[in-house]
Amino acid sequence: MSRDRPLAGLVVAGGYSSRFGEGDKALAELAGRPLIRRVVDRLGATAQPLVVNCRDEQVEPIRDALQGCHGRVRFAIDPVPDRGPVAGVRTGLADLEREYTAVVACDLPFVDPELLVQLADHADGHDGAVVRLESGWPQPLQAVYRSDAMATACDATLESGSKRLLDVLERLDVVTVPATDLESIDPSAFESIDTRDDLRTVENRLETS
């Protein structure tokens, strides 16, 4: 895939994040900026248009958090709240028309635009490209997918009764890219904020760096 081929962006933010505790994780501040603002700012460096998938009651607070960000952000609202990430991705893709879309979770504040460019290159001619970490785990919510193929796979997975993104990947021709094969990507790009303790740990690291 040519690096100047247009790439859309989708941020998935509609989950209730029970492990995080009270409050909307997407709006939790890290060093003075909401997590979702950090993700949108980074994703917007390489992808347009941008869509945020979320629940209806999240729209206004997220819109406030994104005031002044580069480029226009659209919202794709879950018709049924918190059906899981497969449903969230499917809802978001319905509003995107680019051939390929970068899909990123709202809790990855250090997502690297260059990582998404490299994944887009790997995805060319396939249904997508996903990083596999040294631990062996794939990263389906920091990946690039062919938009129509991903939407179809999400539909089929939901119809089967599954809510697992890994089941979606099994329906696709996806290139798996070992993290060790990626060039000049800081490991922090794969760091997710799952709990309040994670947030405090990362904040402390930023304060002392």
167 annotated ligand binder: no
Q: Which residues does 135 contact at the CB level (< 8 Å), separation at least 6?
A: none
12 annotated ligand binder: yes
Burial class (CB in 10 A: 0-12, 13-18, 19+), 34: buried
53 annotated ligand binder: yes
- Residues 114, 17: Cα–Cα separation, whole Å: 27
14 annotated ligand binder: yes
- Residues 133, 118: Cα–Cα separation, whole Å: 15
Q: Which residues does 21 contact at the CB level (< 8 Å), separation at least 6?
A: 195, 196
94 annotated ligand binder: no
Sheet with 100-105: strands ordered across: 73-77, 50-54, 8-12, 100-105, 138-146, 128-132, 174-178
107 annotated ligand binder: yes
Annotated binding site: 12-14, 25, 53, 82, 107
Annotated binding site for GTP: 12-14, 25, 53, 82, 107
Annotated binding site for Mg(2+): 107
